[in-house]
Structure 1
């Protein structure tokens, strides 16, 4: 009987340890989920900021090209040619569809 009580006490102690560990892990999970959400939001904000900066760079390149900066002049010329080709293609499609 005494031996059974000892085994029962050991089992009870192990169950209590498991419950304590489970509780700690649940708390840690909540913290990690919160951190994950915060980091996802930060990543999304950074991506939006990055896109805005890329658009600003494009605008600045256009402005530099228009202001006569030789480095961007060729790029602007190529871009203008591409746009003209697209417009020509659209006009051709309109003519064939009419």
Structure 2
């Protein structure tokens, strides 16, 4: 009978250790998920910053072209033409 009790005690100890390890792994998993969420939020903010800076860059290129810079003159003319077409389209819709 003592032999069976020893086996049961050993089994209980092993199960207890496994449950403790499982709990530690759950906590580590929760922390990793929080870190991942924080990293994803930071990445999203950085992407938004990139979009803002790209818009500023495009506006600066347009301003330089309007001031006489020859580097982006063609792009500026195309952009102005596109804006004029949009305005004409809006005016046509308003007049209908």
TM-score band, normalised by shorter chain:
0.7 to 0.9
Matched residue count: 96
Moved over 3 A (4+): none
Structure 1 counterpart of 2:62 = 62
CA deviation profile, 1:34-74 (whole Å, cap 9, x unmatched): 21122022112201211111111111111111121112111
Map of 1:20-35 to 2, 5 A cutoff? 20-35=20-35
Structure 1 length-normalised TM: 0.85
CA deviation profile, 1:7-42 (whole Å, cap 9, x unmatched): 202211221111111121122022212211220221
Structure 2 length-normalised TM: 0.87
Structure 1 residue ranges without an equivalent (≥5):
none
Structure 2 residue ranges without an equivalent (≥5):
none
Map of 1:1-98 to 2, 5 A cutoff? 1-95=1-95, 97=96
* TM-aligned CA deviation for residue 82 of structure 1: 0.9
